[in-house]
Structure 1
Amino acid sequence: MAASFARRYRLTKTDEYSSVFGFRKAIRGNWLMLHYLPRPEGDIDARLGLVIGKKLLKRAVDRNRVKRIVREQFRLRRSALPVCDLIVRLATKPLPLDGKAIAADINALFDRLCRPRAKRESA
């Protein structure tokens, strides 16, 4: 059985989701999109929110499976992630629904989030 996903690691309120989407920073993978917003000073944990729409995955069992996979990868990598509010959104329909491919996709997105980006201030 997987470990619990504590409330302090979750985005729970509508305005928390709105502020992350409003920040308009995202990284796109093959199937998933990772929206992120750095958290204020003093906060020590990354938090995760999930948006898996019925439009792309009709069956609840499939939506729940994607959520479980993403939550588990977040739980395993949480300590190495930057202190951000993260929202993982399903961007395209994964055909067929392959758990290993979804896990690889979210891990690639987490890797890209952790990588320091080059500043483009000279432009």
Structure 2
Amino acid sequence: MNETPPPARLRFSLRRHRMGPKDFARVYREGSRARGSLMTVALCTNGLGHTRLGLSVGKRCWKSAVKRNRVRRVFREAFRLSLPELPSGLDVVLIASTPQLKPTLEPTRRELVKMVRKAHRRFLEKREQG
């Protein structure tokens, strides 16, 4: 009989991605940013015990709603799979950069983790200075 434990479920409930306009404004105003080739990450602390996601995929980058929705799905899935590697208690806003190619999951996930860590480090440094 197979004795391997079942894989941990990485659920992505509404509380993980339900951010309102005030939350976005706070992240843009108080947070720090890191820019990558696929996305810009803006983040700040949220005072909650979990990390939340906000997405900004503008018409300027992708004219087609179908393409914008695909980018959102890839970003959302990359975030869901990366949750164990990310610090908790943050509001993270992913802002899609100019369209390169179609974003694929694994490169997006790697860049997301790298950019969140970089922005979080900047946020902590900014907090220590001021």
TM over 0.5, shorter chain:
yes
Is residue 63 from structure 1 mapped to residue 51 from structure 2 by the alignment? Answer: no
Is residue 97 from structure 1 mapped to residue 87 from structure 2 by the alignment? Answer: no
- 1:93 is paired with a residue of what secondary structure? coil
Residue 111 of structure 1: how far off its partner (Å): 4.4
1:85 to 83, 87, 91: 91
Between the aligned partners of 1:26 and 1:9, the Cα distance in structure 2 is: 20
Letter in 2 for 1:70: F
For residues 70-118 of structure 1, what are the alpha-carbon distances to aligned partners after superposition, in whole Å with 9 as ceiling and x for unaligned? 1111111213311210000012222x22415434432432343566889
Which of 43-52 and 101-110 deviates more? 101-110
Is residue 19 from structure 1 mapped to residue 52 from structure 2 by the alignment? Answer: no
Is residue 36 from structure 1 mapped to residue 43 from structure 2 by the alignment? Answer: yes
Unaligned runs of 5+ in 2: 1-9
| TM-score relative to the length of structure 2 | 0.74
For residues 54-75 of structure 1, what are the alpha-carbon distances to aligned partners after superposition, in whole Å with 9 as ceiling and x for unaligned? 1110111211111111111111
Partner of 1:47: 52
- 2:59 is paired with a residue of what secondary structure? coil
Larger Rg: 2
Q: How many residues align?
A: 117
The alignment's C-alpha RMSD in Å is 2.7
| Percentage identity across paired residues of the two chains | 26
Unaligned runs of 5+ in 1: none
Partner of 1:72: 77
Partner of 1:112: 118
Between the aligned partners of 2:19 and 2:73, the Cα distance in structure 1 is: 17
Partner of 2:7: none
- 1:70 is paired with a residue of what secondary structure? helix
